[in-house]
């Protein structure tokens, strides 16, 4: 059994990890931290876990995480970088759901996250945890940087087109929407019911920290200079993400060829569903599941290709993806414990 620790067990991605790992056949939940809830049985806070998780929270300074085989950090940016060196030195693998190890350039990280990077020596080593595009590196990694939720949709949607040189890399436009759980469980005015329900707005239009993460990754797929315009929006739902990705075609290609390109690219990726050309994927078709679904469109058969991508921000966009990485790091089937079908309605 893989002994698992979770730092930040009281947040949305933390409890989502618990939901997934509680029924994972190869996992033993060993330590779950909370700074405020030391000693409280996890299932007292989250009754959905009654009968499935029987351990209590412990404060991060009391929890002996070195007894774990792997530790997930479901914490704000900056927490994992402070603890990862000691854990790795003790032989513990680390999966960070925050951004501490996603951006290789320390100066770029510090500019966008407004915190000093205290262990830049691990940046190069960290494997970027997007299994579909980086499987081999994750398999051999002891430190994984789980991607951001928006970047997951943008990369999986644009990758086949960029790699095949079919679109103008300098004119990528991504119009993305997230459910409110994407902002986490902490109290904030913007996520109060009266502020975020029956309301719809863009945010971070002048610049969002997922732009440098996504651009740096997309740049690996093409020699042309990538320029990405990314506009996130907050939609009045709890879970779910919908990204509409626009690309300007630069070569003659038929719709059948575009569809075949995506189907071929993801034929061995169990968590990417390439839907029939012209489909309209719905966020609810991924709710609670690790599946990302996408579909291609080409209005009027012109030179714009549109990729519609949906996922559950808390599963494929965060905790499910992290478990997918754990499976690869420990030589398990990538889908182990992740076969949940989306909840409808
Ligand atoms: N929500 C989402 O859809 C996604 C989130 N992420 C990223 O995952 C990470 C967690 O997000 P989310 O679960 O939404 O956040 P939450 O705000 O819901 O939870 C944060 C957790 O971190 C703990 N925590 C906070 N500060 C510290 C600290 N200094 N030391 C130890 N533990 C701490 C909190 O627990 P306590 O206060 O009890 O100690 C809490 O359990 C973030 O970096 C986020 O950016 C990534 C992709 C998607
Ligand atoms: C709706 C909402 O607020 N979403 C978050 C992104 C969540 C995510 O992926 O987070 P990290 O990259 O920070 O890990 C945001 O835009 O800041």
Report the interhelical angle of 12-21 vs 320-329 (nearest 10°). Answer: 50
pLDDT for 266 equals 98
Rounded Cα distance between 129 and 125, Å, is 12
Rounded Cα distance between 106 and 118, Å, is 9
Q: Which of 68, 119, 149, 176 is catalytic?
A: 149
Task: Go through the domains of the chain in sequence order and give each one's CATH number.
Answer: 2-125 (3.40.50.720), 149-312 (3.30.360.10)
Span 222-227, mean pLDDT?
97
Rounded Cα distance between 281 and 242, Å, is 9
Residue-wise pLDDT tens digits, 254-269: 999 999 999 999 999 9
* Nearest atom (ligand 2) to Cα of 210: 12
Rounded Cα distance between 119 and 229, Å, is 30
- pLDDT tier for residue 139 given thresholds of 50, 70 and 90: very high
Q: Give the end-to-end CA distance of the chain in Å, rounded to a whole number.
A: 35
pTM over 0.90: yes
pLDDT for 127 equals 98
Q: Using the mean position of ligand 1's atoms as its centre, give its distance from the Cα of residue 10 in Å.
A: 8
* Nearest atom (ligand 2) to Cα of 313: 9
Ligand with minimal distance to 183 CA: 2
- pLDDT tier for residue 217 given thresholds of 50, 70 and 90: very high
User: 152 in ligand 2 pocket by Cβ < 6 Å?
Assistant: no
Rounded Cα distance between 243 and 76, Å, is 24
* Nearest atom (ligand 2) to Cα of 213: 12
**ipTM for this prediction:** 0.97
Ligand with minimal distance to 9 CA: 1
């Amino acid at each position: 059994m893989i002994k698992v620790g979770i730092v930040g067990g009281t947040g949305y991605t933390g409890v989502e990890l618990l939901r997934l790992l509680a029924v994972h056949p190869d996992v033993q939940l060993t330590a779950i931290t909370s700074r405020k809830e030391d000693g409280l049985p996890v299932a007292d806070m989250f009754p959905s876990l009654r009968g499935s998780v029987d351990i209590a929270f412990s404060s991060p300074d009391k929890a002996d995480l070195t007894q774990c085989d792997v530790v997930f950090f479901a914490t704000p940016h900056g927490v994992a970088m402070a603890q990862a060196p000691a854990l790795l030195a003790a032989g513990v693998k680390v999966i960070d759901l925050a951004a501490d190890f996603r951006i290789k350039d320390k100066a770029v990280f510090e500019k966008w996250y407004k915190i000093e990077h205290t262990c830049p020596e691990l940046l190069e080593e960290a494997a970027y945890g997007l299994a579909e595009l980086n499987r081999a590196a994750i398999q051999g990694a002891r430190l994984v940087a789980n991607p951001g939720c928006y970047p997951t949709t943008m990369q999986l949607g644009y990758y086949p087109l960029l790699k095949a040189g079919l679109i103008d890399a300098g004119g990528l436009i991504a119009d993305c929407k997230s459910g409110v759980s994407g902002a986490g469980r902490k109290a904030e005015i913007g996520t109060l019911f009266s502020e975020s329900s029956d309301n719809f707005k863009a945010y971070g239009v002048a610049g969002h920290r997922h732009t440098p993460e996504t651009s740096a990754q997309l740049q690996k797929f093409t020699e042309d200079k990538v320029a990405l315009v990314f506009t996130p929006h907050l939609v009045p739902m709890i879970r779910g993400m919908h990204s509409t990705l626009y690309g300007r075609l630069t070569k003659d290609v038929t719709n059948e060829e575009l569809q075949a390109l995506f189907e071929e690219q993801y034929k061995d990726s169990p968590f990417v569903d390439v839907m029939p050309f012209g489909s309209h994927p719905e966020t609810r078709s991924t709710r609670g599941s690790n599946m990302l679904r996408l579909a291609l469109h080409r209005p009027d058969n012109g030179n714009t290709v549109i990729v519609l991508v949906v996922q559950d921000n808390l599963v494929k966009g965060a905790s499910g993806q992290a478990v997918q990485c754990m499976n690869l790091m420990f030589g398990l089937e990538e889908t182990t414990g992740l076969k949940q079908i989306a909840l409808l309605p």
